[in-house]
Structure 1
Amino acid sequence: MNARQQQILQMVVERGRMNVSDLSRITGVSEVTIRQDLNLLEKQNYLRRAHGYAMPLESDDVETRMMNNFPVKQRLAEYAASLVKDGETIFIENGSSNALLARALGHNRRLTLITASSHIAWLLRESECEVILVGGSYQKKSETMVGPLARAFIRQINFTKAFIGIDGWQPDTGFTGKDMLRSDLVSAVLDKESETIVLSDSSKFSVTWPWPLDAQHKFRRVITDNALDRRTVQQLEESGLKVDLVDCRDGAS
């Protein structure tokens, strides 16, 4: 995805609907080029088209959140994907950065990707890898499987790495989540003692939500962008976490 297409997605998400002529005027390219961009973005499940304009996908807003700070999340996902070895079985939790990670890994036919997110499973419907969707109660708003059946499913399956999204972190609370049932599922994943990795942009590291994710301190690694302040990095490292800061500035390789 090039810079212009990222700009188009950002505008569509922020404004809810953009017509072709306005996109052409703002980006400085022809309407023919805009239509080609929109066709590509629709084919890749980033937005949907109607006659003369484009709109965000209607879902649990995973795609909408994905486009919020998209270039940063894309770099984080690419970095996380580079840590996955050929032939591994990994668990990918819900969230926008994790959805981009799933996209990045989907071409590898030797991988097995386990997820509790029906949205991520849908994104991988034409991928080369094997996809396993956790069973359980379907939480419609988040498009996630939760509850006792989901926990039992997690206990019965093995994976080498788990990528988890978070909603907040503070030194006195650790990692926290907005939703009780999703946080409960994360605790089941942590009980597996695989390599558990937080994948999140730096905006989450100054917020607290009600539900603890890591009461027993089982997370091992954090992948975030280098906008995270040095004091927070130090606090994370002092708690025993390996912190990978990804350079997400424009033009960074």
Structure 2
Amino acid sequence: MNARHQQIIQLVNTRGSIAVSELAQITGVSEVTVRQDLNMLERDQFLRRVHGSALALDSDDVGMRMNTRYGIKQAIASHAASLINEGESVFIEGGSTNALLARTLSDRRDVTVITVSHYIAHLLKEAACEVIVLGGMLQKSSESMVGPLTRYCVQQVHFHKAFVGVDGWHAETGFTGRNMLRCDVVDAVLAKGVETFVLTDSSKFGQIHPYPLSPGFQVRRVITDSALHPTLLTQLQEQNVAVIQVNEKVV
């Protein structure tokens, strides 16, 4: 996958749908080349083609989303990993950026990773770090554990830091998600009062999804990329959210 393919995936996922003619104009190649790109990306299940346009897949597939904006997500994950001290236990919730964080920690024998993500657990099956997988109901689409048993497991374990994902943030709604059960798991983590970081790229800011995180447990730290719009950065800071911005890794 080249840089143009990643750009196309990002455009499609951000807008939901986009015309072939506009993709050609933005990427600086012919419509014929764009159609060839779309054929390949549809074959590999990154998007769906319709006549004259490309549509985003409504997918929770973590492996697929790891390839979208990969350089940015890896930069966020690398910075998050640098904040984890020797001997710490860390909770990693799920999602593509958190999966990259887990992979970054895989060689660290001095760290214990606690997760609800079976995708992350599988990623770390040969890792040097210790891995604890919490129980619950398996949400097959995201390969993540959810439900009352998962909430109970979160309450029964202890960790120094937590890293969670979100689907959107807006000044009027705060952090929101597409899935109620996964938001419930994040709320259980926030209720513990440990140092918690949201890991997400800047495309999520300004978006609103159906399920808000509990207003009783506020996220106070965000790690995102340097493309975050200055107005959104100001709004976050006005709500006492500390924002760390990183530059994209060239891959």
Shorter-chain TM-score category? 0.7 to 0.9
Q: Give the 5 Å matches for 1:99-110.
A: 99-110=99-110
Equivalent position of 2:195 in the other structure: 195
- Cα distance in 1 for partners of 2:247, 2:153 equals 36
The alpha carbon displacement at 1:247 in A equals: 1.6
Amino acid at match of 1:222: V
The alpha carbon displacement at 1:218 in A equals: 2.4
- Find the residue that maps to 1:215 and give its secondary structure: coil
- Cα distance in 2 for partners of 1:235, 1:155 equals 32
Runs (5+) with no aligned partner, structure 2: 10-42, 47-58
Aligned residues: 205
Equivalent position of 1:44 in the other structure: none
- Cα distance in 2 for partners of 1:126, 1:10 equals 31
The alpha carbon displacement at 1:214 in A equals: 4.0
- Find the residue that maps to 1:126 and give its secondary structure: coil
Amino acid at match of 1:138: L
Runs (5+) with no aligned partner, structure 1: 1-5, 15-53
- Cα distance in 1 for partners of 2:191, 2:155 equals 8
Equivalent position of 2:241 in the other structure: 241
- Find the residue that maps to 1:181 and give its secondary structure: helix
Residues 126-174 of structure 1 deviation map (CA, whole Å, 9 limit, x = unaligned): 0000001110011111111111100000000001111110000000100
Amino acid at match of 1:7: N
Equivalent position of 1:7 in the other structure: 2
- Cα distance in 1 for partners of 2:186, 2:60 equals 19
Q: Kindly indicate whether the alpha-carbon contact (under 8 Å) linking 1:147 and 1:181 is maintained by their aligned counterparts in 2.
A: yes
The alpha carbon displacement at 1:250 in A equals: 4.6
With structure 2 as the length reference, what TM-score do the two structures score? 0.76
Equivalent position of 2:223 in the other structure: 223
Equivalent position of 1:183 in the other structure: 183
Cα distance 1:60–1:176, how it changes in 2: closer, same or farther (>3 A)? closer
- Cα distance in 2 for partners of 1:195, 1:225 equals 20
- Cα distance in 2 for partners of 1:169, 1:237 equals 13
Q: Kindly indicate whether the alpha-carbon contact (under 8 Å) linking 1:10 and 1:68 is maintained by their aligned counterparts in 2.
A: no
- Cα distance in 2 for partners of 1:115, 1:71 equals 23
Q: Give the 5 Å matches for 1:1-253.
A: 7=2, 60-248=60-248, 250=250
Amino acid at match of 1:91: F
Q: Kindly indicate whether the alpha-carbon contact (under 8 Å) linking 2:187 and 2:217 is maintained by their aligned counterparts in 1.
A: no
**Bigger CA drift: 216-225 or 85-94?**
216-225
Equivalent position of 1:25 in the other structure: none
Q: Kindly indicate whether the alpha-carbon contact (under 8 Å) linking 1:93 and 1:163 is maintained by their aligned counterparts in 2.
A: yes
The alpha carbon displacement at 1:249 in A equals: 6.6
- Cα distance in 1 for partners of 2:60, 2:204 equals 19
Q: Kindly indicate whether the alpha-carbon contact (under 8 Å) linking 1:196 and 1:218 is maintained by their aligned counterparts in 2.
A: no
- Cα distance in 2 for partners of 1:226, 1:187 equals 27
Amino acid at match of 1:114: I
Cα distance 1:231–1:140, how it changes in 2: closer, same or farther (>3 A)? same
Q: Kindly indicate whether the alpha-carbon contact (under 8 Å) linking 1:76 and 1:246 is maintained by their aligned counterparts in 2.
A: yes
- Cα distance in 2 for partners of 1:192, 1:94 equals 18
Cα distance 1:217–1:232, how it changes in 2: closer, same or farther (>3 A)? farther
Q: Kindly indicate whether the alpha-carbon contact (under 8 Å) linking 2:74 and 2:249 is maintained by their aligned counterparts in 1.
A: no
Q: Kindly indicate whether the alpha-carbon contact (under 8 Å) linking 1:174 and 1:214 is maintained by their aligned counterparts in 2.
A: no
The alpha carbon displacement at 1:93 in A equals: 0.8
- Find the residue that maps to 1:235 and give its secondary structure: helix
Q: Kindly indicate whether the alpha-carbon contact (under 8 Å) linking 1:10 and 1:67 is maintained by their aligned counterparts in 2.
A: no
With structure 1 as the length reference, what TM-score do the two structures score? 0.76
Residues 17-73 of structure 1 deviation map (CA, whole Å, 9 limit, x = unaligned): xxxxxxxxxxxxxxxxxxxxxxxxxxxxxxxxxxxxx9679x952111010111111
- Find the residue that maps to 2:2 and give its secondary structure: helix
Q: Kindly indicate whether the alpha-carbon contact (under 8 Å) linking 2:121 and 2:133 is maintained by their aligned counterparts in 1.
A: yes
Q: Kindly indicate whether the alpha-carbon contact (under 8 Å) linking 1:195 and 1:219 is maintained by their aligned counterparts in 2.
A: no
Amino acid at match of 1:101: L
Q: Kindly indicate whether the alpha-carbon contact (under 8 Å) linking 2:198 and 2:221 is maintained by their aligned counterparts in 1.
A: yes
